[in-house]
Structure 1
Amino acid sequence: MNADDYAPKRRLREKAFRPNWSLDITRPWNCSEDTWDGVFTEHVLEHVTYSQAMHVLKECLRTMKPGAWLRITVPDLDKYVACYSKGGADGALGNFPHPAVAISFLTQMHLHRSAWNGDLFVRVLTELGFSDARVVAYRQGTDPRLIRDDADKSHESLYVEARKPPR
């Protein structure tokens, strides 16, 4: 089963991966505990505040089956900070007219409301009760069903996975 948030532009873009149902990720999810075999979210959590992201991650933990994996992809704060440190020029991210524009792009463009790096994500996931939280590479991960990484976003992305502990 596949769920998606209410973002119609994404649903139209992913015609081959149509959702079975839609939900508002910032509200309680209308599904029971231990429903999902795994959860994949790509470039979504940066669009909600940190407190809303905590809610989303708690709902992931509640609704995932024991032993299931979570795969998260967001823009990587560390890559943008490195670009800033290089004066706004970075081979992977491109060239920004000023270093501050790189940070502005991460934090304000596309309605971003939070910024994440690997250390923060691993800490948050562990504190919420996930196990085996770790940063992974593009197209690398534990559950092959969840490796759906968009190649167009690989240059700027952070990839994190964690597991709902088995009972």
Structure 2
Amino acid sequence: MEIKDLKIVIGAGPYHNNPGWLHTQEENLNLLDETTWSNMFEKSSISAILAEHVWEHLTYEEGLQAAKICLKYLKPSGYIRCAVPDGYFPDEEYQRIVQIGGPGPEDHPAASHKIVYTYQLLVELFETAGFEVRLLEYFDENGHFHQNEWDGSDGVIFRSKKFDPRNHGERLAFPSLIMDAKKCR
């Protein structure tokens, strides 16, 4: 039986912010192992993929490989909503926490960070993989915050201006660089 509107969350962890989506973990769906994808899905069968704070755990080359695998399994006009720590957020403590190798013990999530993205680098990666990219929330190189309209029904990113209570009000505390990458063909 084919699911008409298959939406998946990559690396969901304990969070299930997106009811009705298939929540996956690296053990059952590995971004770098296409066999795990072909065991679960047909090519061109997925409507949407959500990856919140996942891509920074891959090198640039691995991120490009993962994006190309995702592209194969997305339907035409399907998309990836991707959020990563923002390399241009002008907060020293935030940048210390999200840096490559992260602070603290080996079991801290940031300990396995392999890259810190700016909007230019993330857009380049997904465009190189063959996607059309639309930025949703990000800081520019001058430290100015930009937010374009986006809908949580297309995938909730908790660590965002829109949904994270830490980011409500005048000052952002823990934002993300968020974009949609749409399959054009």
TM over 0.5: yes
Q: In structure 2, how many angstroms separate the alpha carbons of the residues matched to 1:162 and 1:19?
A: 19
| Shift, 1:105, TM fit | 3.7
1:70 to 1:19, Cα distance in 2 relative to 1, 3 A: closer
2:181 match: 162
2:135 match: 135
Unaligned runs of 5+ in 1: 89-95
- Aligned pairs (5 A) from 1:138-157: 140-141=149-150, 145-150=153-158, 151-152=163-164, 155-157=174-176
Is contact 1:40–1:146 with CA below 8 Å preserved after alignment? no
Q: In structure 1, how many angstroms separate the alpha carbons of the residues matched to 2:14 and 2:124?
A: 34
Q: In structure 2, how many angstroms separate the alpha carbons of the residues matched to 1:44 and 1:20?
A: 13
Is contact 1:2–1:19 with CA below 8 Å preserved after alignment? yes
Q: In structure 2, how many angstroms separate the alpha carbons of the residues matched to 1:134 and 1:16?
A: 21
Instruction: Supply the AA of the counterpart residue of 1:14.
Output: H
Unaligned runs of 5+ in 2: 1-5, 103-109, 138-146, 168-173
* Aligned-pair identity (%): 21
Instruction: Supply the AA of the counterpart residue of 1:24.
Output: N
- Aligned pairs (5 A) from 1:14-163: 14=16, 17=19, 19=22, 22-28=28-34, 29-30=37-38, 31-79=41-89, 82-83=90-91, 88=92, 96=93, 102-103=95-96, 105-109=98-102, 110=110, 111-131=112-132, 133-137=133-137, 140-141=149-150, 145-150=153-158, 151-152=163-164, 155-163=174-182
Where does structure 1 differ by over 4 angstroms across 4 or more consecutive aligned residues?
2-5, 15-18
More helix by share: 1
1:92 match: none
Is contact 1:4–1:23 with CA below 8 Å preserved after alignment? no
Is contact 1:134–1:162 with CA below 8 Å preserved after alignment? yes
RMSD (Å), alpha carbons: 2.8
| Shift, 1:59, TM fit | 1.1
Q: Structure with the greater relative contact order (CA < 8 A, sep ≥ 6): 1 or 2?
A: 1
Is contact 1:3–1:23 with CA below 8 Å preserved after alignment? no
Instruction: Supply the AA of the counterpart residue of 1:44.
Output: V
TM-score w.r.t. the length of structure 1 is 0.71
Instruction: Supply the AA of the counterpart residue of 2:16.
Output: E
2:171 match: none
